[in-house]
A and B are shown apart, each in its own frame.
Chain A
């Protein structure tokens, strides 16, 4: 074929390329460009407006010397461990209970999952009310006669993050249960039959046969929970607004407040870059295992 007959490579499949413009723009301008921009400006001393005035790692030194950031990180770690452990355990247990060929399975599943349809704002506000020291759980138990009963997580700075975790678990475990249930349903019935014939007790079958077989489901679930943990923001805003004092601050809130209230953009960029870094620590090994491994096979 001569060159003149064949249109340039660029115009082949033109419609598909036009249709992909939004995707290409999003991927390159917003995701790659935006991320690079934020990382670049985190090395500047931008205050009210972004300025390319480089100060090296100053923003990061200041960040890690700020008590509010350190509290945010500590809270994120506690919240993260609680979320991971409890949503995996509760999610799996609920899925295992629902997998016993029970009646009304759909009803139970609907009940366990409905909080997931609600926003974190709604979740936070409901639990703010339930944990209200005067009228909530503490008030009710006290009015029943146990006057020394103490359960006031939202106004006690040493345990406030646990109060937030309770709400988060209520909202999110339904999803984990659903994923686990899908995983359990994917296990071959014959495995169960074999385990039963061999006389292996049920809990042992779950622990040593089923759970190892569900490894991919667990890994996916883990990634989902982990990427949700870093994003936690609305829940804290609604439930405690970061209080009492700064006791329930989280990194996402730190970023927002420094960018839009404190007018200290550089700090906001540095903090958001740290968030990106923490996500990468989770995602990169996972992506490597998931996609790097597949190529080799």
Chain B
């Protein structure tokens, strides 16, 4: 450690001594060996990451005869949108042949209320934890955060029983509740940390002016915390849309979310495999989170960083 400190000090001295000479970084050539290596590697890796998306799109635009003869990487000779139409409105799961559109609308009907409910609960909760702490609140909070690491499989069945008891097992409402429950740890953490970082004086001033719990939340905290709400919405929309496990456990075939229906369409054993329709269906399912991702950009990164760094 002391060696390190010495070398640091020495380097500072060296930098200072150098200050009289030409300053700024050494100019580099565009095509230096370093740059070729650097950008070459990055481009190759980027191509690898893009390849599956490219293959998905290309496959979905080909007709089946062309897929059987050709190469999955070659662009379509004749572009057809028929697989997309078929995936959306005719693809079969079991006896139902009304395509992915049903799953899409189910997913919308699941995602929208789940996002609203989970964020409403968690934001108020985070606010209470940050500004209105009561005895024991932190204990519950710690349990909540630790609970986020428990494998879902451990809690699946007790929730089935609870939902069955209150008559919501198999309904979309039940699934919305489940999503709100499992979204709670990370969202509560997100909002608690955000509200804690807001200046305390603001809260005190509002208190002096006579505002109460809900007044401060609605008129001061809410308008000031728009960015964190956007992060939470991104996190929840992608997370809930992409969910498979809860969908398959807590809904029935006619209320299956899109991911479950997609899996049933593609992995169904009967009939001839229509790879182009399968890929069109796969893109359709991935489209919503992809659009959210490309629109939100840096906020998405913030969201997942927050989502990832639990605890």
Contact = CB atoms under 8 A, between A and B. Distances in A.
Contact of A28 (B15, B73, B140): B140
A100 B128 CA distance: 43
B308 A224 contact: yes
B213 A19 contact: yes
A262 interface: no
| Main DSSP-derived SS at the A contact region | helix
Nearest to B273: A132
Q: Which size bracket describes the interface of A in this complex? A: 35 or more
B244 A272 contact: no
Interface residues of B, number: 97
A19 B128 contact: yes
Contacts of A34: 154-155, 158-159
A127 B52 CA distance: 7
Given A23-B125, A27-B147, A178-B301, A136 B72 contact: yes
Given A114-B294, A190-B8, A197-B14, 11 more contacts: A16-B213, A35-B154, A98-B42, A106-B297, A114-B53, A114-B293, A115-B52, A126-B282, A127-B52, A237-B244, A279-B149
Nearest to A226: B149
Nearest to B292: A117
| Main DSSP-derived SS at the B contact region | helix
Nearest to A240: B267
A127 to B, nearest CB: 7
A218 to B, nearest CB: 13
Contact of B282 (A32, A122, A234, A268): A122
A252 B151 contact: yes
Interface stretch (B200-208, B223-231, B258-266): B258-266
Contacts of A193: 11, 15
B134 A16 contact: yes
A17 interface: yes
B149 A227 contact: yes
A118 B242 contact: yes
The CB with the most chain A CB atoms within 10 A, among B51, B248, B267, is that of B267
Contacts of A100: 38
A238 interface: yes
Contact of A194 (B7, B50, B52, B286): B7
A272 B144 contact: no
Interface of B: 7-8, 10-12, 14-15, 38-39, 41-42, 45-46, 48-53, 55-56, 59, 67-68, 71-73, 121, 124-125, 127-129, 132-135, 137, 140-141, 143-144, 146-147, 149-159, 161-162, 180-181, 184, 188, 212-214, 238, 241-245, 248-249, 259, 262-263, 266-267, 275, 278-279, 282, 285-286, 289-290, 292-294, 297, 300-301, 304-305, 308-311
Nearest to A103: B39
Given A20-B125, A121-B262, A125-B266, A33 B153 contact: no
A100 B243 CA distance: 36
Given A27-B140, A28-B140, A135-B67, A121 B259 contact: yes
Given A22-B121, A272-B153, A33 B11 contact: no
Nearest to A35: B154
A128 B52 CA distance: 11
B143 A265 contact: no
Contacts of B46: 108, 111-112
B267 A238 contact: yes
Interface in A196-232: 197-198, 220, 223-224, 227, 230-231
Contacts of A255: 153, 156
A54 interface: no
